[in-house]
Structure 1
Amino acid sequence: MKAIKQHYQNLIIGFGKGGKTLAAYLAKHGQEVALIEKSEKMYGGSCINIACIPTKALIISAERKIPYNIAHQAKNDLTAFLRDKNFQNVEGLDLASVITGEASFVSANEVLVKQAGVDKDVLISAERIFINTGTLPYKPPIKGINSSEKVFTSTSLLEKSGLPEKLVVIGGGFIGLEFADMYAKFGAKVTLLNIDNEFLPREDKDIADEIFKVLSAKGIRIINGVNIDNVEDLSSDLVKVSYKNEDGKLDYLEANAILVATGRKPNIESLNVGKAGINLNKRGYVIVDEFLKTNKPNIWAIGDINGGPQFTYISLDDFRIIRDQLFGGDYTSVSVRKQVAFSVFISPPLAHVGLREKEAIDKGYEIKVAKLPASAIPRARILTETNGLLKTIVDTKTNKILGCTLFCVDSSEMINTVQVAMNAGLDYRTLRDAIYTHPSMTEAFNDLYNLI
């Protein structure tokens, strides 16, 4: 079958945050662009369809005690609305085209697209190509994990309209914690199997201990240091996971569903990047330089696929870097990117920016540490959300904030204030002495930084 040939100035593979924003920007500034997306159910990218937005919508519903089936339908309605809006935001532009199909490289300048529901393939040549295919959930090589009908990833569990009575989460990272906390709030009995011997080993122990205490108080059972042996379906509604505990003894759990939350892998298998001569690292991510360029001068990689921090806002920032390269500006490299915060939407949420205490010590800083229990904040008491701990690290010599970890209600908003202060190089006393609205969570910075 002979492919239809088309040519564009710009070709973007993948509808994620960075790619879709770049597509719209190019089209609005007089450049022709094609945006390829494998599935019509992924218009707008992972965040809108299978990650940030649907999970946060479910979390809010759980906190409001909305039944799972109603919350699940509301989540589907929301993602459908956003998916259509994102499609129109690109396809509605005169110089932009959305092409639905699976892309694979033919050369460094050509991509073959097998269109969904269309007999003819499209062979697209382009002057510039941007890879924006993101990542997929990773399943470790555990016996029975692929054959079981009761094993889910973060993507497939969100598609399940019924609430599992008993849920086992394999993986003690942030995705596993969010899902464990969310399903427990909906009423599921949740057990989390953590492969690491420590709970949240990257965090400072006082923070990790506080999170462990809060989650355990909700009835979430956390078992550290496990080695998963196998998974076996027992019936149409029951699955068994066998594991060795930290003492090496074999044990097992029975559940209605198992969530595998053991990390993510690059979504690149069908791209056939070898035909384009694009270099990958050992983990399969596209290797880029500080300008987000691959070893091919006309090909960039945006977002998760380039192996950087896997956050939607990083993908958006990748867009800004490419925008300034193409249209002029000073922000042309990841080398000028400053501190970036993150949030984990358990209840209360965990937010962090900069160095942790142990990291600052390892780097040789002379530091001052301040800690404040969330229960000391009037706004937290008003909201009846008094669990948690606030912690900050300050450089003794410069009075600059080196890092901050907030495990408290509204921390996902508060951390942005600290991030701005750090990136502006402000003295910690700026936050200590600022006038905040009352009663607010942000005014906790008056007390926290007064402890330095």
Structure 2
Amino acid sequence: MKKTFDAIIIGFGKGGKTLAGDLANRGLKVALVEKSNKMYGGTCINVACIPTKSLENSANNVKNINSWNDAQIEYAKAIEKKETLVTKLREANYNKLNSNDNVTIFTGMATFIDENTVEVKTENEVYELVSENIFINTGSKSFIPNIKGIENNKIVYNSESLMNLRTLPKKMTIIGAGFIGLEFAGIYSSFGTEVTILNSNNGILPNEDIEDSEEIIKLLEKRNVKIINNAKVKEIKEVSNLATVEYDINSELKEITSDIILVATGRKANTEGLGLENAGIELNERGFIKVSDNLKTNKKHIWAIGDINGGPQFTYISLDDYRIIINQLFGNKTRTTSNRKNIPNAIFISPAFSRVGLNVKQAKEKGYDVLVAKMPVEAIPRAKQIGKTDGFIKIVIDKNSNKILGASMICEDSSEIIHLIQLAIDLEVEYTYLRDRVYAHPTMTEALNDVLSPNMIKEV
């Protein structure tokens, strides 16, 4: 069955769903294709940001755990809460677009036949969708390294399949020490799981300042998380329903046994089955869809949104991709990816590690004369009041201009405060602008009055 639309959007993620609604509200007929009925709303809502942060919140608010049975009960409650939340959001996302007369949702696999035609195989029908405007929003998926035994899905999980785990493991081995691995280490260790991270590098988060990484390690060690560096995983074996990992350190073969293994070794482009070659769409050297700074592929009527285009893998970047496309289609065509600057990010390990702009190492590499304003969180009245005093706030300043270059924060509410720093950097104001603001009391934000005071600023 052939159908023609003004736009075809492949993928129900943040950028795609927002674009579908916008185009439909402008009177365009939109086909929105999603492979799975469990993924309406995209990765963030269903298997990433929202469910993991729900678990993180539950994990850090558990009380009265006096036994392993108590831990299992609390974990089961957290999973149920997470499932209720995700189901509600998924249904809301579907209903919002399904109720729009200009949007037709197809649940099935999309494959390009040519550069204007997409075949969609649903459960009961095969459609040929035709359009002069096609938007690919299929995201990314877990990268699974070539390790012997890693295909055993009874004991090996990725970040998505772990979301379906109903029983709290007593022991967990995590392969990989990036954002995903560290967040899950924080979540499961808070429930009482004994977590070991096998890290192939010499340390975690190599792009961060050493003192930042060391503080994160201290936080995880307080929860009995063990990190083994320079570990090269050789093989995974199932022995008596347990997972045994063989790894090598300096040519010495070692083993670790746990209930399950989480593979957290990064993400790759989700292009399987799309038939991009049939449309002549080019990929970059990493396997992501190659785009210009206005998000067009080498086919000028085909665009790539979100993770699939190889940009920063954050939901809010996918949303900004949508803004760029709308500006290119209906605006003054000035918005591009090159306009982006000072993108904030956070690792939710409780307290969160939040970053924006340049850290000390990066600022020095760029030739700045660096001043650093740093203060321990235990000096903040609000932190004492709520009993969350781990971490520090660190702000990087250009000595010659007094402008803020970046910030690293490991503290409660850092994922909120970091946006104020982002705004100050974007506006290119001097650090004294934030220092001299009047903030509500008691709040974590008012720490900016103190951390930016003269006695806290040092040249490094």
Q: TM-score by structure 2 length?
A: 0.95
Is 1:374 the counterpart of 2:377? The answer is: yes
Q: How does 1:331-350 map to 2 (within 5 A)?
A: 331-350=334-353
Q: CA RMSD in A?
A: 1.0
Given candidates 190, 193, 207, the residue that maps to 1:188 is 193
Of 130, 133, 143, the match for 2:135: 130
Match of 1:104 among 111, 115, 119: 111
SS of residue matched to 1:42: coil
SS at match of 1:254: strand
Once the two structures are superposed, what CA deviation does each residue of 1:138-157 show, in whole Å capped at 9, x if it has no partner?
11001111135200000001
Point out the more displaced range, 13-22 or 193-202. Answer: 193-202
- Give the aligned residue type for 1:368: L
Residues of 2 paired with 1:410 and 1:330: CA distance? Answer: 36
Corresponding residue of 2:68: none
* Partner of residue 232 from structure 1, selected from 214, 229, 237: 237
- Equivalent positions of 1:369-448 (< 5 A) are 369-448=372-451
CA contact (8 A) 1:266 1:305 kept: yes
Aligned to 2:78: 71
Indicate conservation of the 8 Å contact 1:148/1:231, yes or no. no
User: Which ranges in structure 2 are unaligned for 5 or more consecutive residues?
Assistant: 64-73
Structure 2 counterpart SS, 1:324 = helix
Structure 2 CA distance for aligned equivalents of residues 329 and 353 of structure 1: 29
1:292-346 deviation line (CA, Å, top 9, x unaligned): 0000010000000000000000000000011111121465211222321001100
Deviation sequence 1:207-232 (CA, Å, 0-9, x none):
11111111111111111110001000
Q: Does 1:146 align with 2:143?
A: no
Provide closer, same or farther for how the CA distance between residues 56 and 374 of structure 1 changes in structure 2, counting only shifts above 3 A: same
Q: Which runs of 5+ in 1 are unaligned?
A: none
Q: How does 1:287-326 map to 2 (within 5 A)?
A: 287-326=290-329
Aligned pairs, number: 445
| Structure 1 contact 292–301 (Cα < 8 Å) conserved | yes
CA distance in 2, matches of 1:177, 1:271: 32
Distance (Å, rounded) in 2 between the aligned partners of 1:25 and 1:410: 32
AA matched with 1:244: D
Distance 2:14 2:48 in 1: 12
Q: Please tell me whether the aligned partners of residues 148 and 232 of structure 1 are also in contact (alpha carbons under 8 angstroms).
A: no
> Could you tell me how far apart the structure 1 residues matched to 2:411 and 2:101 are?
46
Q: 2:39 corresponds to which letter in structure 1?
A: M
Give the corresponding residue for 2:452: 449
Q: Distance in 1 between matches of 2:402 and 2:31?
A: 49
Which runs of at least 4 in structure 1 moved beyond 3 Å after TM superposition? none
TM-score normalised per structure 1: 0.97
CA–CA distance in structure 2, aligned partners of residues 106 and 339 of structure 1: 39
Q: How does 1:269-280 map to 2 (within 5 A)?
A: 269-280=272-283
Q: Distance in 2 between matches of 1:13 and 1:427?
A: 44
Shift of 1:426: 1.4
**Segment drifting more, 38-47 vs 58-67:** 58-67
Aligned partner letter, 1:430: Y
What is the identity percentage for the equivalent residue pairs of Structure 1 and Structure 2?
48
